[in-house]
Amino acid sequence: MPQVQTQSRGAGLSPPLEIFIENLYKSFGVRSVLDGINLEVRSGEIVAIVGGSGNGKSTLLRHIIGLVQPDRGRVLLADHESKGSPLVDLATLNAAGMERLARHWAVVFQSNALLSGHTVGFNIALPLSEVQGLDEPTVRRKVDEVVREVALNPETDLDLTIDQLSGGMAKRVAIARALALDPILLLYDEPTTGLDPQVAEQIQDLMGAVHQKKTVSGFTRATVVITHDKDMLYRLRPRIIMLEAGHILFDGTYGDFQNLPAAQPYFELMPKLHQRIREPVHSAKTW
């Protein structure tokens, strides 16, 4: 498995890299979607990827989770099952190699990607047994733990079917399912779109709390969020990456972003974009 060791964990200086994207290009037909993206995401960071419709946010997320291959350039993620957690080029991996990396990250989709007709408990337990191969008592214990962490009640909520849940409860279940995998890298695709403001605020706070909590193995998490949620940016104060026409227009703080003249038209449009529903980016095999 080809590896790139850009910095040793524990070497001091900057936090270690979780994602390294170099000179990334992607087109669909004659339409260029990503046009030379260079991006680093380090341990401990919350990074929000923003930008108007059609500017490459979803395509970038698809590259990070290995659903799309670059036309040119590289996407590397940390391999937490190798000494020093070296970066590995996703394009070099077979299915087994991709599963090896994917055991240490999780995705919360805009649509939640929960299995309709099944219970809350079943939805959270399924990746624990299928992806991690845990035994039934361990799965039950983990399900109870994460349900409590997202402020749901295992005594009353585990037997509810997905169809019985409110939008806010369904989002909590999706976050609980991701959290159960104990991910080092956590990715969200428009996690608060369509939720009422009070529920969205609760989900924002939950996302912040999950990010701050270290994994069982002691790793500090990295979080990447695709969002149009202006309130989330205000509350979580992430590092903001703004895409425009397949380029990175801005990379910096919330304070600098809200005062950036070139970003003002998008900044004013964010509340309207935040309310729309678009097609999800997930596949059936991605949690």
pLDDT digits (tens, 9 = 90+) for 57-90: 999 999 999 999 999 999 999 999 999 889 999 9
Residue 54: the pLDDT is 83
Specify burial of residue 4 (Cβ count, 10 A radius: 0-12, 13-18, 19+). middle
* Contacting residues for 269 by C-beta, under 8 A, at least 6 apart: 52
Q: Give domain limits for the chain.
A: 119-177
Is the pLDDT assigned to residue 133 strictly greater than 50? Answer: yes
Q: Comparing 109 with 253, which gets the higher pLDDT?
A: 253
The pLDDT tens digits of the residues spanning 26-46 come to 999 989 999 999 999 999 999
Angle between helices 136-149 and 167-180 (to 10 degrees): 130
Residue 5: the pLDDT is 45
Is the pLDDT assigned to residue 271 strictly greater than 70? Answer: yes
257 by DSSP, 3-state: which?
helix
Q: Comparing 132 with 145, which gets the higher pLDDT?
A: 145
